[in-house]
Amino acid sequence: MEAARRGDRDAFNELVRATYRDIYALAYRLTGNREDAGDVVQDAYVRAYRAIRRFRGDSSFSTWMYRITSNCASTHLSRRTRQRTEELSDDVPIVDLRPEQDPSLRAEAAVLRHHIDRAIRALPERLRQVVVLRDLHDLSHSEIAAELGITTSAAKVRLHRARQRLRTVLQRTTEFGADQAALPDQGQQDEAAS
């Protein structure tokens, strides 16, 4: 870290290699598709490289990168003129926490993951950010607040609202089937979250 702050490109490249996977996963969760995630990650690392000398070390490099990535995703999504969605393809690996190799369990896990990803992508950006940072990157409420520039109370409220929405959508999905559980469009959700 110190070498990167002094301008050592190799040291910065090592930091990129060490954090890239998590940063890309965060960007993907926030944007909902690979192309946007790639753009956000590239922008985030460029911003980090330009600002590395000002990094005070109050948090870890990866936590600092989470904040930069969240900000880049927010900027990217607000600039995007049309909404794009991309369904998960069959080649996306599914992590099955059960050791059994039962194909039916794997199929159920794939369907569940699809519904969860779809529900997360449908959340308004401000709610999606909090869910991704808490439930996927395991940041505390205070860390989320610091990352997003909000109060800890606001982070807790947003997380509660996001989880309520996810629960409602996922319950409708399981009760009525995926085709019946229509998700509201992004514009309606953004208005409701304001």
Q: What confidence tens digit (pLDDT) does each residue in 26-42 have? A: 899 888 888 889 999 99
Name residue 16's amino acid.
V
The architecture (CATH level 2) of 2-79 comes to Orthogonal Bundle (1.10)
Q: What is the pLDDT of residues 115-135, one digit of tens each?
A: 788 888 888 888 988 988 888
| Token code pair at residue 51 | 């600002």
Please name the residues in contact with 180: beta carbons below 8 A apart, sequence gap of 6 or more.
172
Task: Look at domain 103-193 and name its CATH class.
Answer: mainly alpha
Answer yes or no: are the C-beta atoms of 30 and 70 closer than 8 Å.
Answer: yes
Write down the residue that tokens 């890239």 correspond to: 20
- Rounded to the nearest integer, the mean pLDDT of the chain is 77
Q: Nearest-5° angle of CA 175, CA 181, CA 184?
A: 145
**Domain edges within the chain:** 2-79, 103-193
The band of 137, judged by pLDDT with boundaries at 50, 70 and 90, is confident
Q: What is the pLDDT of residues 76-96, one digit of tens each?
A: 877 764 445 455 555 655 554
Cα–Cα distance, 7 to 13 (Å, whole number): 11
Sign of the alpha-carbon torsion through 64, 69, 70, 75: positive
Answer yes or no: are the C-beta atoms of 183 and 122 closer than 8 Å.
Answer: yes
Name residue 169's amino acid.
V
Instruction: Look at residue 175 and tell me whether its pLDDT is greater than 70.
Output: no
Write down the residue that tokens 């409708």 correspond to: 172
Of the candidates 86, 177, 49, 74, which has an alpha carbon nearest to the alpha carbon of residue 133?
74
| Token code pair at residue 159 | 């997380």
